[in-house]
Chain A
Amino acid sequence: MKLIPDLIKKITDNEIWRSVFRHGYADTPRNRVLQIISNIWLHLHPAKVREHGTKIRFTWCMGGITFFIFLFETITGILLMFYYVPDVNRAYADIVDLMYVVPFGRFLRNSHRWGAHAMVITVSIHMFRVFLTGSYKPPRQFNWVVGVILLVLTFLLSFTGYLLPWDQLGYWAITVGTNMARATPFLGHEGPFAYILGMRADNDVRFALLGGTMIEAPALLRAYVWHCIAIPVMASALMMVHFWRVRKDGGISGPL
Chain B
Amino acid sequence: MEVMEEKGREVKDDRVFTWPNLVAKEFLAAIFVTVGLLFYSYVVDAPLRELSDPGQAENPAKAPWYFLGLQEALVYFDPWYAGVILPSIIILGLILIPYLDNNPKGNGYYTFKERKFAVSVFVFGYVFWYVLIYIGTALRGPFWAFFWPWEKWTHDFPTPPPLHDLPLLLGIALMIGFYFLGLVLPALVKKDFFYKLGIVRYVLTMGLLLTMLGTVIKMIFRLVFNVKYIIATPWINI
| Chain A residues at the B interface, C-beta cutoff of 8 Å | 29, 32-33, 35-36, 42, 45-54, 56, 61, 64-65, 68-69, 72, 92, 95-96, 99, 106-107, 109-115, 117-118, 120, 128, 131-138, 140-142, 144-145, 148-149, 151-152, 155, 158-159, 162, 165-173, 175-177, 179-185, 188, 190-193, 214-215, 253-256
Contact = CB atoms under 8 A, between A and B. Distances in A.
Nearest to B20: A32
A84 B85 CA distance: 35
Contacts of A54: 16, 21-22, 25
B161 interface: no
Given A49-B15, A183-B84, A185-B84, A106 B91 contact: no
A192 B235 contact: yes
B122 interface: yes
A135 B109 CA distance: 8
A184 B25 contact: no
Given A120-B66, A132-B119, A137-B106, A50 B98 contact: no
A107 B41 CA distance: 6
B14 interface: yes
Given A115-B37, A173-B63, A64 B51 contact: no
Nearest to B78: A183
Given A152-B91, A255-B108, 16 more contacts: A32-B17, A33-B17, A42-B23, A61-B29, A68-B29, A69-B33, A109-B46, A134-B108, A142-B98, A144-B97, A166-B51, A169-B48, A171-B53, A171-B54, A176-B71, A185-B80
B48 A172 contact: no
Contacts of B14: 50-52
B104 A137 contact: yes
Given A64-B26, A180-B83, A133 B110 contact: yes
Interface residues on B, range: 35 or more
B79 A113 contact: no
Given A158-B64, A166-B51, A35 B98 contact: no
Contacts of B53: 168, 171
A106 B45 contact: yes
28 contacts: A32-B19, A36-B19, A50-B15, A51-B16, A54-B16, A54-B21, A56-B25, A61-B25, A64-B26, A65-B30, A113-B46, A132-B119, A134-B118, A137-B104, A166-B52, A167-B49, A172-B61, A172-B62, A173-B63, A176-B61, A179-B79, A180-B84, A183-B79, A185-B84, A193-B236, A214-B54, A215-B52, A256-B107
List 8 tightest A-B contacts by C-beta distance, closest first: A180-B83, A183-B79, A171-B52, A141-B98, A110-B41, A113-B46, A172-B61, A253-B108
Given A118-B37, A155-B66, A193 B18 contact: no
B225 interface: no
A172 B26 CA distance: 39
